[in-house]
Structure 1
Amino acid sequence: MASTQRTGGEPHPMLGQLLGHYRIQEKIGAGGMGVVYRAHDEHLDRDVALKVLPAGTLADEAARKRFRKEALALAKLDHPNIEGVHDFDTQNGTDFLVMEYIPGVTLSDRVSAGPLPEKEILKLGTQLAEGLAAAHEQNIVHRDLKPGNLRITPDGRLKILDFGLAKLVRPFSDAGMTASVTETHAVSGTLPYMAPEQLQGAPVDPRTDIYAVGTVLYEMATGRLPFQEKLSTNLADAILHKPAPPPGRLKPDISPRLEQIILKCLEKEPENRYQSAKEMLMDLRRLSAPISMPAEKPATQARPRWQLATAISAIVVVALLAIVLGLNVGGWRDRLLGRADRATIRSLAVLPLENLSRDPEQEYFADGMTEAVITELSKIRALKVISRTSVMQYRGTRKPLPQIAKELNVDGVVEGSVLREGDLVRITVQLIHAPSDAHLWAESYQRELRGILALQSEVARAIAKEIQINVSPQEQVRLTRARRVDPDAYEAYLKGRYHWNKRTEVGYRKSLDYFQLAIEKDPSYALAYAGMADAYNLLGRYSVAPKEGFPLAKTAAKKALEIDETLAEAHTSLAFAQQRYDWDWSGAEKEFKRAIELNPGYATGHHWYALYFSPLGRHEEAIAEIERARELDPLSLIINTNVAWVYWLARQYDRAIGQFRKTVEMDPSFGLAHERLGLAYEQKGMYEEATAAFRKAMALLGDNTEVVAALGHALGVAGRRDDAQKVLVELQRLSTRKYVSSYDVAVVYLGLGDKGQALTWLEKACQERAGGLLYAKVDPRLDPLRSDPRFQDLLRRMNFPQ
């Protein structure tokens, strides 16, 4: 709907006619891209807008086919600030688009009466940026933004009209857009809003639309365009070469911050403008947020020394009080001020920060910054913060924030962007109260990369202050403690975490290379040692002989804690290795407790602590911890799988089956969930279902020996002894080229009923500290051995607490 300005004159010959099943009711606008009518959809009983394209725009059926394909792509733009495209059709040679009918007035109508109040400019500008951001995420650029293409509904909602039509219509018409920009009539109503690169015929991108937004904001703020030249040749020259006059010269009451936003949009070079509509949106929202009044300027006359000393003491007290109230340490702000929260936020999701560098190779940096902010906020016990695994699934999503918040069960969302340019980092974040979609706060920060750790803490403190959460004095100390880090070391650490988070053997090994590089660049970088410990732990659990992983994990974790005892990650890694390799149960529990004390929101800490309790038979505690981990990381496949695993170890098989099935529904390609679902089926006597689940897991995981052994046990118990014997042969074959746990071999012999061989292989498993042996006390497959003295002696050597 290019415009919905009603036109006078004689009745139009199209009125009352049917185009398809749309009856034309009135002409409501016209422009270079066609005539617009209000029509009634006689199938769906609703009013729509029909844009009838100029005759000859689409020369043949091939052109119509291309146009339809692109028009239907526009139809996928579903946003409350963008006019919806419903359909494209042809009747008797007349081509027309069917679009959402939007009552109201155009922004042209509003600004024709003069400048708008700043509050209204910000309200409309924010909606315009929101719509653009949604379209740009789908790689759709408007190309023809102007007040005539912006409509304001009776309830104050701004709608962007004709989205993408400049691209759709002009390629099919005879006259090229850029070829005729100096011809007065060819650019009527459009030239004043065109960016310099658009005038020069250069490729356009989202920053072209941002220039147009600057022109629209300028016009709303001042009542006139930035450039007033009458001839189009002179106007084009001004856009290309002259700086826009600051709007404050024309309207002195414009705030400096709004003027700054407008002029940044109007930069001649795209690189100097906002790099995305989302970045511009954050500045508009930050300006819309209430700001505190500046302190009264102190008198400059000299004072007696005693008065000066008193004043300094008062300043110190006020400063300390400001810190306590600002961070709500101990909840004192709420108690002293008795202030009602503007929006209660006790749970939070930090969505993936947008990478503004336009370099896909920099995604690891944006991911690392996201994870770092999550980690800092997780240190606050009173705040539930969703973990990295779950939030990363929303990268590039078009879901509304209230829907995301509902899926993650949070009431607050943080979103933003990060841009790295050399050794400078700029991060912009905003806080949204998700149920109401109210934007509470936004801020931008720029620091040298060397001070990145302090920046992450600063962002977390600012968010904690805005949501008015209680921060204990100990948490306050942890949030303000940050050291400088070598930029190359930090970059290597982020790359290491990026590969570690892939959760594959190749990923773990590659992460070790980067963690080692980080340590070489900065030998006192504790996080790099903690990352190394995590990598060695999971290699020792899933990929290599335990003796090749766990001792190295312990060494790295202890080194990390020598440097920084407050690292929850390092305490968790040390506990994992102590439990699984040393069978030091009391030492491991001490480390898990310290980790959770330091970072109550660390999902991995709760996850691994649950797997500490289960082997001991402390099932209620295990269930409580694993469900807390899921609350913090609700979309994590491994945590959801291990929720069911903990149920299975507690012999709650029906409950386990239900949860395993839910995890499989989350991602049918997650092999571990299929394998453990098979274990649950087996304990229920559902052998056919069990073997099918195991074979599905094998198809997904390859020659995973734990899965192969599980299949062998089930086949043996089901009486298929020959098939079970073949599994033993397969494990023998695999052992010639990779580590095969002796525990896995013992499990197959138990399925065959051969207790002697099972005990022989369990003894070997004990010597090698095999991972599966950790569950010897509770694994139901080992029940036939529980009365055997040799098995009881093995359990004693594993140091299980009595």
Structure 2
Amino acid sequence: MATPTPCERVCFDVFEADLRSGELRKRGVKIKLHHQPFQVLTMLLEHPGEVVTREELKSKLWPFDTFVDFDVGLNSAVKKLRDALGDSAQIPRYVETLSRRGYRFIGSLGDASSSRGEHALGVPGRVVAEQSAAASEGVVTEVPAVSGVSRRWTLWTAAGVLAGLLVLLVGFDVGSWREKLLARATPVHIRSIAVLPLENLSGDPAQEYFTDGMTDALVTELAQISSLRVISRTSVMRYKGTRKPLPDIAKELNVDGIVEGSVVQSAERVRVNAQLIEAATDRHLWASMYERSPGDVVILQSEVARAIAKAIQVQLTPQEQARLAQAQSVDPQAYEFYLRGRYFWNKRTEAALRKSIDYFRQAIQREPNYALAYAGMADAYIVRGDLSREEQCSKAKAMARVALQMDEGLAEAHNALAMCLFSSDWDWVGAEREFQRAIALDPNYAWAHQWYGQFQHAMGRQNWAAEVKRAGELDPLSLVIAGGGWYIESGQYDLAIDITRKKLELDPNYAGAYLALGRLYTLKGMYQEAIAQLQKGVDLSGGAPESLSALGYTYGVSRKRNEALKILHQLTLLSKRRYVPRYQIALVYVGLGEKDRAFDWLQKAVADHSIPLVFLRSAKEMASLRSDPRYAELLSRIGLPQ
């Protein structure tokens, strides 16, 4: 049997929709509503209480051969419909959004007396022609209207019955109705959020860098809000291109809310559609579209962040309000260079880092006062493993300080400066000051928490693990952050191995995880397993000095002397082509048990300011040297607490 469908007039609340003429009236007054929004309303009214999918709406609104940005067009049509109805995506009365599925009409279809004021007795208030399977025989059933008096009596009677039923449903919580009916009255409680990768709707894959950059920027803007936990870019980017249900993603990231949306870029305009979903209920709390010229895209990002903060009723400090409001226009070409720089910076290969520095440099040439580009270059130099630590940090510090002269509130620049003061200059007081300033400016900056935790570990403080674990909460799917070092410290190697294996589940080709596993198996005395893991790390890293050194150390302690000596020879040859930290050579000699040579190279490492030296006090591999007076002398030269 065919489903009856309205084909004439439908009334709800104070509105009357004439489905034949395509007209919408409010209290009898015609409201201007374009054809496409009215078509959306028609489909929803034809299926009240049912989900109408986005695909069904697209098919209705646009023929198959139409070339248009369907998502943006549909979002626009729904927004215009809601505007006409005075409806809201956050607290819908008529049109409810179901995340990643479609829309549903949730209003009550009923009497039309309030839509045109008070009708005269006997005048039809709602005439709906229902066409059933009998229509093939020419039979049309018309539902007659009731008189005004009878109608009012019927309404009061129905209202009494419904009220009594509602009391029973809520009182006895039949079918969890109490929870459902009271859900809308419950205040929004979102204190943690993830911004999923925005979709690139430009149709040009080459614009992915721009869309990813917009995601990154929105994460950064929201991360400045101290009362909100914001998941870092690294973790959210793992959901790029996936179609997992939002509640599942929220559970994996342990957040209350999800932001998703899309970006369309042209030469003249940038348009961003964004929406906020409550994870537990899959309910839309806020949605909006923003459009600006490319030069004002930074202002657009701040507007979106402020709107989200307002939607979730989060408290902003005066400093945070000022920070979000002070965004300024930027040269579009400079901003594009900056986004390309960040895009390659996030890849973290040596070739990609060189590209990122080149793009940051072009951004600075285009706009010499672009503080973010200087901060980006500082970040890039810090992770350049092919440079000596002196060269890395001299350039990184110079860029960070220029950035801070232009904008003292850049957490990235403070963090880059802090890492150099910590790992290269051994300026403990200055490093701690800069780490704390970075975290104060951006409480959700995972790398600031990670590096500050490492600093505290080097200083011998007991609470260092809490800082690193905080970084892990902010970036739960990071391959590098929160690797379980606290378990290594306490000798709980199996628990550290479990964490490392989970990293490998995220990326089976991550060389750092094999390096970590190899080290852990070595500490457990499982040398055969350690060598197998370390060899994988060497292969995947392209023979990086750190991986080679760890393999050489394990060969040494497992009494494979010839193999360890071969690693030393490789490191010597490699040092003629690129920078090899002196510490890595010293480590192989420690494994071989040649203390004098180990101390000789550790002395050279001190002169070289090799990064691992800041952890010398607690390094497990150095246990055989600690009783030697030369070890205490090294700690004294570095300035580490003993």
Alignment of 1:467-482 (within 5 A): 467-482=312-327
Find the partner of 2:293 among 448, 462, 472.
448
| Offset of residue 481 of structure 1 | 2.0
Q: Which amino acid aligns with 1:114?
A: R
Question: 2:70 & 2:327 partners in 1: Cα distance?
Answer: 40
| Offset of residue 670 of structure 1 | 1.1
* Aligned: 1:554 with 2:397: yes
Question: 1:735 & 1:791 partners in 2: Cα distance?
Answer: 25
Secondary structure of the 1:110 match is coil
| Offset of residue 434 of structure 1 | 1.2
Q: CA RMSD for the aligned pairs? A: 3.5
Contact 2:98 2:284 in 1 (8 A): no
Find the partner of 2:553 among 706, 713, 716.
713
Q: Deviations over 1:310-360 (max 9, x none)?
A: xxxxxxxxxxxxxxxxxxxxxxxxxxxxx9753211110111111121111
Secondary structure of the 2:265 match is strand
Secondary structure of the 1:485 match is coil
Contact 1:257 1:287 in 2 (8 A): no
Find the partner of 2:412 among 532, 548, 569.
569
Q: Which amino acid aligns with 1:559?
A: V
Secondary structure of the 2:484 match is helix
Find the partner of 2:576 among 718, 736, 743.
736
- Which residue of the partner structure matches residue 390 of structure 1? 235
Question: 1:369 & 1:287 partners in 2: Cα distance?
Answer: 33
- Which residue of the partner structure matches residue 51 of structure 2? 157
Question: 1:733 & 1:644 partners in 2: Cα distance?
Answer: 33
Find the partner of 2:468 among 626, 640, 655.
626
- Which residue of the partner structure matches residue 244 of structure 2? 399
CA 258–149 in structure 1, closer or farther in 2 if over 3 Å, else same:
closer
Secondary structure of the 1:719 match is coil
Contact 2:409 2:441 in 1 (8 A): yes
Alignment of 1:326-475 (within 5 A): 342-475=187-320
Q: Deviations over 1:11-40 (max 9, x none)?
A: xxxxxxxxxxxxxxxxxxxxxxxxxxxxxx
| Offset of residue 789 of structure 1 | 2.6
| Offset of residue 193 of structure 1 | 6.7
* Aligned: 1:112 with 2:7: yes
Contact 2:47 2:105 in 1 (8 A): no
Contact 1:679 1:710 in 2 (8 A): yes
| Offset of residue 559 of structure 1 | 0.8
| Offset of residue 445 of structure 1 | 1.6
Question: 1:420 & 1:146 partners in 2: Cα distance?
Answer: 26
Q: Deviations over 1:140-176 (max 9, x none)?
A: xxxxx99999998896233689999xxxxxxxxxxxx
| Offset of residue 646 of structure 1 | 4.4
Higher relative contact order (CA 8 A, sep 6+): 2
Question: 1:519 & 1:559 partners in 2: Cα distance?
Answer: 11
Question: 1:204 & 1:698 partners in 2: Cα distance?
Answer: 53
Question: 2:368 & 2:106 partners in 1: Cα distance?
Answer: 45
Contact 1:286 1:442 in 2 (8 A): no
- Which residue of the partner structure matches residue 100 of structure 1? none
- Which residue of the partner structure matches residue 797 of structure 1? 637
Question: 1:632 & 1:779 partners in 2: Cα distance?
Answer: 27
Question: 1:547 & 1:286 partners in 2: Cα distance?
Answer: 62
Gaps of 5+ in 2: 18-38, 87-96, 108-183
CA 147–615 in structure 1, closer or farther in 2 if over 3 Å, else same:
closer
Alignment of 1:313-328 (within 5 A): none
Contact 2:511 2:537 in 1 (8 A): yes
Question: 1:632 & 1:714 partners in 2: Cα distance?
Answer: 34
Contact 1:353 1:418 in 2 (8 A): yes
* Aligned: 1:780 with 2:620: yes
CA 119–694 in structure 1, closer or farther in 2 if over 3 Å, else same:
farther
Contact 1:617 1:650 in 2 (8 A): no
| Offset of residue 677 of structure 1 | 1.2
Question: 2:531 & 2:543 partners in 1: Cα distance?
Answer: 16
Q: Deviations over 1:633-655 (max 9, x none)?
A: 1111111xx43234324544233
- 554-563 or 772-781: bigger deviation: 772-781
Question: 1:801 & 1:367 partners in 2: Cα distance?
Answer: 43
Q: Which amino acid aligns with 2:209?
A: Y
Q: Deviations over 1:539-595 (max 9, x none)?
A: 1xx222112211100010111111111111100000011111101111101100011
Secondary structure of the 1:418 match is strand
| Offset of residue 613 of structure 1 | 1.7
| Offset of residue 429 of structure 1 | 1.0
CA 478–194 in structure 1, closer or farther in 2 if over 3 Å, else same:
closer
CA 715–423 in structure 1, closer or farther in 2 if over 3 Å, else same:
same
Q: Which amino acid aligns with 1:548?
A: E
CA 340–157 in structure 1, closer or farther in 2 if over 3 Å, else same:
closer
Question: 2:244 & 2:15 partners in 1: Cα distance?
Answer: 27
The percentage of counterpart residues that share the same residue type is 47
Contact 2:556 2:592 in 1 (8 A): yes
Q: Give me the TM-score of the superposition, normalised by structure 2.
A: 0.76
CA 116–798 in structure 1, closer or farther in 2 if over 3 Å, else same:
farther
Q: Give me the TM-score of the superposition, normalised by structure 1.
A: 0.61
| Offset of residue 204 of structure 1 | 5.3
CA 120–413 in structure 1, closer or farther in 2 if over 3 Å, else same:
farther
Find the partner of 1:635 among 477, 480, 497.
477
- Which residue of the partner structure matches residue 511 of structure 2? 671
Q: Which amino acid aligns with 2:572?
A: Q
Question: 2:67 & 2:429 partners in 1: Cα distance?
Answer: 60
- Which residue of the partner structure matches residue 309 of structure 1? none
- Which residue of the partner structure matches residue 754 of structure 1? 594
Q: Deviations over 1:616-646 (max 9, x none)?
A: 232x42211111111111111111xx43234
Question: 2:365 & 2:624 partners in 1: Cα distance?
Answer: 52
Secondary structure of the 1:637 match is coil
Find the partner of 1:505 among 331, 343, 350.
350
Q: Which amino acid aligns with 1:462?
A: A
Question: 2:568 & 2:14 partners in 1: Cα distance?
Answer: 75
- Which residue of the partner structure matches residue 98 of structure 1? none
Q: Which amino acid aligns with 2:441?
A: L
Contact 2:200 2:207 in 1 (8 A): yes
Alignment of 1:170-209 (within 5 A): 195=63
- Which residue of the partner structure matches residue 684 of structure 1? 524
Secondary structure of the 1:636 match is coil
Aligned length: 532
* Aligned: 1:582 with 2:453: no
Q: Deviations over 1:35-59 (max 9, x none)?
A: xxxxxxxxxxxxxxxxxxxxxxxxx
Secondary structure of the 2:193 match is strand
Secondary structure of the 2:463 match is helix
Contact 1:150 1:160 in 2 (8 A): no
Contact 1:623 1:643 in 2 (8 A): no
Q: Which amino acid aligns with 2:446?
A: A
Question: 1:288 & 1:519 partners in 2: Cα distance?
Answer: 53
- Which residue of the partner structure matches residue 529 of structure 1? 374
Q: Deviations over 1:675-723 (max 9, x none)?
A: 1111111111111111111012122212111111111111111111122
Q: Deviations over 1:737-767 (max 9, x none)?
A: 2222211111011111000110111111111
Question: 1:682 & 1:749 partners in 2: Cα distance?
Answer: 16
CA 152–643 in structure 1, closer or farther in 2 if over 3 Å, else same:
farther
Contact 2:43 2:52 in 1 (8 A): no
Question: 1:114 & 1:398 partners in 2: Cα distance?
Answer: 39
- 574-583 or 148-157: bigger deviation: 148-157
Contact 2:53 2:103 in 1 (8 A): no
Question: 1:160 & 1:445 partners in 2: Cα distance?
Answer: 21
Question: 1:653 & 1:775 partners in 2: Cα distance?
Answer: 18
